[in-house]
Amino acid sequence: MNSIYFFELFGTLVFAISGMLAAIEEKMDFVGVIILGFVTALGGGTLRDLLMGNTPVGWMQDNNFLYLVLLAIPICFLARKYIAKLRRSFFLFDSLGIALFTILGTQKGLDANLSVLISILMGVVSATFGGVIRDVLANKVPLIFRKEIYATACFAGGVSFILLSKVIPWESLTMIICALIVLLIRYLSVKHKWGIYVRPIN
């Protein structure tokens, strides 16, 4: 198993868990939990593949992605007794998911011979649009549209991946470092309430 495939599988699992945690928090039924887990885990990658003209999209060609979404179900429900820690758990899995999918989407763009900028944007799309669909279905303003740093962390991670790939010969190490960069930016931005927003005109 190469590092790209491992990151894609692991990212799918953590994003499925974050979507299911969001559904449990909203007191959705069992079907709602599965749907939110599915769209969160696979929505961003599906949009990325469609934009790049890769059809059938990735998860339709590999059942392992569906199995991982199903695996997230018992993980979430067995952890229900820790519901008091739900918000912290959601932040952890969501942040880990965007970190992994940022690197994954950027690399897939490069593999498709897209420009550096477009490849980074493919990373941002992969990382954020599953969460956009999740939040819309949960009747929330998507995180990407709020003032807290979210997509910006993904963009920074994609840029870091491009730059470090030129100086670090080990792909796996580069991916881990850049994923940690995204996680660190997300953590610090939430802890210190950093945000990027436009002030309304009075």
Each residue's pLDDT tens digit, 98-144: 998 999 999 999 999 999 999 999 999 999 999 899 999 988 888 77
> Would residue 196 count as lying in a domain?
no
> Would residue 26 count as lying in a domain?
yes
- Beta-bridge partners for 148: 195
How many domains does the chain divide into? 1
In whole angstroms, what separates CA 156 from the centre of its chain? 14
pLDDT for the residue 106? 94
Q: Show the domain range for 72.
A: 3-191
pLDDT of 198 higher than 70: no
pLDDT for the residue 82? 66
> Would residue 180 count as lying in a domain?
yes
Question: Could you tell me what percent of the chain has a pLDDT over 90?
Answer: 49
> Would residue 197 count as lying in a domain?
no
For 115, the 3-state DSSP assignment is: coil
- Beta-bridge partners for 195: 148
Please report the beta strands in the chain, taking only residues with DSSP state E, as ranges in sequence order.
none
CA atoms within 13 A on the CB side of 65: 21
**C-alpha span between 59 and 148 (Å, rounded):** 30
pLDDT for the residue 87? 59
Specify the pTM: 0.86
pLDDT for the residue 81? 66
pLDDT of 83 higher than 60: no
pLDDT for the residue 201? 66
> Would residue 199 count as lying in a domain?
no
